[in-house]
Amino acid sequence: MAQDEQTQLRKLFGENRAEWPPESFQDLFVVPTYFNKLESLKPSMLVGGRGTGKTTSLQSLGYEEALERLESQGLTFEDQQYLGILVRMNKNRVHAFKGQRVSEDGWSKAFSHYFNLIVCHEIAIMAEWLQGKCGIAIPSNEILRISLDLGMSEVSTLTQLIRQIKISISKLQLYVNNPSESTEVIFSMPESPLRTFVELLKESGLLGDRVVFCCIDEYENLLDYQQGIVNTFIKHAVPPLSYKIGVRKFGVRNWKTIDKNDLLSNSDDFTEIHIIDEGFDYFATAVANSRIAFAEKSGISIAPSLKEFLVDLSFSEEARKLGAEKATQRIISEIKKTSETLAKALEERPIEEVYFLDYWREKTKKELTTIAESYLENSKEWKQRLGNHGYASLFWLSKGQKGLRIKKYYSGANAFLALAGGNIRYFLQLLDLSIFHEYDRNKSGVTYPLTISPESQTFALRDVGRRRLDQLEGLADSGVKLKRLVLAIGKAFFEMARNPTERAPEVNSFVIAGKQDQIKKISSLLKEGVGHLAFEVNPRTKNTTQLEVRDDEFRLHRIYSGFFEISYRKKRRTTFQAHDLIEAAEGSPSSAIAGLIGDEHIITDSSDLSEQLAFFTNFFAGDEKGQE
């Protein structure tokens, strides 16, 4: 029974929109908070990393999906205001349109023709669907006009048009792969056929007052000149045709149009929607709660909301789990040697406050007796100090305690929402693996209604971080370098968290200093990492020194926080030298990590590393083969 429940829950939280059965759609689909912006007539650019929901949102604009959503609200086809089609820019295919065998102008014409064909193919399929809905047939002479615009054999039906477009795509692919052969291809005018096709649908009465959204996913895969071609279509879009673009951050490399003196302009030509800035917490919570409700409806006894489902720990509870009681006993025993009175006073204070005195001793290098006296005499000052440094002290608390499987907890709905970093896929993976660990840790039986313990949540975060780290090599062009960089920076922040001496608490972001050519080199790699969700980036709020010349403040993506046992909260930054980061990326991790930390003597002994970091001991020690 428990196994069946686990399978149901993991299927529920582990699947994406594409795999949902039709009968589940109404229960599981949650409209993103930015959807109204995306549905506007104006062209839109939806910006977000892999897994943030770009593809799902663009799919949801589709003509069939949009109608299904309306019908779930009691509306009909008559209420539908737009019809979306989706094309994906397959990297292998679009990158074939390059090489010295053909001139730049020749490749531009060939790609424009390819774009016309794949878009018109989707419009033709939609037109067949529209004919069935409206009971109106497109005149054969008008379909003939589309085939002529595309440079194809004359056809008179949509079925023939779809077949001929497929044949034309095949011919074009042969030409692209063998441009010097005798393969003959007639190129169509950029965008003209698809615009003619949409206007034809309007004139025939199939569109009514609706508009057509041409949704283009994975825009970052386009070559620079190809982005310039599509930019031209976006800039000059007029009803009844508009464009909706899905792209990773920094994925637009070329803002020019075919007329290289003309630029695609944000706000004037399109609306830019950054998913991470569009109410992610509200959206993700709604997604989770809808699935919890679906599970309840299916007969599973489960906590009624995300907040209750993910058990959180208070600061006091976590401190005790990490060893605050032992640390407090150690402090009191030490104080007793010099002052029984002082020790007795400390015994009456909360454990989660007294252990903090030892942290403060290590941080400031002051005498423990002096610190204890100050604590007892200045309660207001120490309350504020605990508020500023208490969370940071939890990362230090387990230091030296060998055998602990968990040396820092990550739990609760707010934590999971923050750790996902605006990525709905990460959020669902965290929930899915949390469910797995909860059942795995309680083989004798979970308690009901089902909740997820802080331990299971912490293990899930580690797993997702490790998976993401392993996937980096295959996702990015510079995947191996990015993996090395993530490992080195993560280890540096881990060491800073465990060794608080003369450091600001919760340092987990950085700016770059150094020589201009080195800054440029490493910034390029970091920005590629941002596109692949290895890093996050924000404009820096203020300069720390005159040597810091970049405007970008980077941090590891928060999904790695549990893997490296560092804070996920946006707190304080440090400055990394560009040459140290380059060293890390190019295979000299040991010296690079020491340079990033600024003190090689504080590096944690491998025997005190958590199991997930211990796996990379050879890498941290400088072995180039270290588990890469």
Per residue in 552-604, pLDDT (tens digit) is 899 999 999 999 999 999 888 999 999 999 999 997 888 899 899 987 667 77
pLDDT at 543: 41
pLDDT at 376: 94
Would you say 434 and 302 are in contact if contact means Cβ atoms under 8 Å apart?
A: no
Q: What is the pLDDT of residues 205-227, one digit of tens each?
A: 999 999 999 999 999 999 999 99
Domains contained in the chain, CATH given: 1-30+281-313+411-473 (1.10.8), 34-278 (no CATH), 332-397 (no CATH), 476-621 (no CATH)
pLDDT at 476: 67
pLDDT at 565: 95
Cα–Cα distance measured from residue 155 to residue 160, given in angstroms and rounded to the nearest whole number: 6
Q: What angle do helix axes 140-149 and 192-203 make, rounded to 10 degrees?
A: 170
pLDDT at 85: 98
Q: What are phi and psi of 393, to 5 degrees?
A: -70, -20
Model pTM?
Answer: 0.86
Mean of pLDDT over the chain:
90
pLDDT at 503: 78
pLDDT at 541: 46
pLDDT at 398: 87
pLDDT under 70: residue ranges of the chain: 1-3, 15-27, 180-183, 476, 539-551, 600-601, 623-628
pLDDT at 181: 62
Q: Which amino acid is at 614?
A: A
Q: Which amino acid is at 554?
A: F
pLDDT at 613: 87
Give the angle subtended at the CA of 577 by the CAs of 484 and 392, to the nearest 5°.
Answer: 75
Q: What is the pLDDT of residues 339-386, one digit of tens each?
A: 999 999 999 999 999 999 999 999 999 999 999 999 999 989 999 999
- The neighbouring-strand residues paired with 452 are 310
The CA–CA distances, whole Å, from 528 to 444, 477, 509 equal 46, 9, 17
Q: What is the pLDDT of residues 466-476, one digit of tens each?
A: 999 999 988 76
- The neighbouring-strand residues paired with 45 are 245, 272
Would you say 476 and 529 are in contact if contact means Cβ atoms under 8 Å apart?
A: yes
For the chain, how far is it from start to end, CA to CA, in angstroms?
40
pLDDT at 545: 43
pLDDT at 623: 55
Cα–Cα distance measured from residue 367 to residue 361, given in angstroms and rounded to the nearest whole number: 7
pLDDT at 600: 63
The CA–CA distances, whole Å, from 71 to 64, 68, 207 equal 11, 5, 19
pLDDT at 183: 63
* DSSP-assigned letters across all residues of 28-69: H----TTHHHHTSSS-EEEE--TTSSHHHHHHHTBHHHHHHH
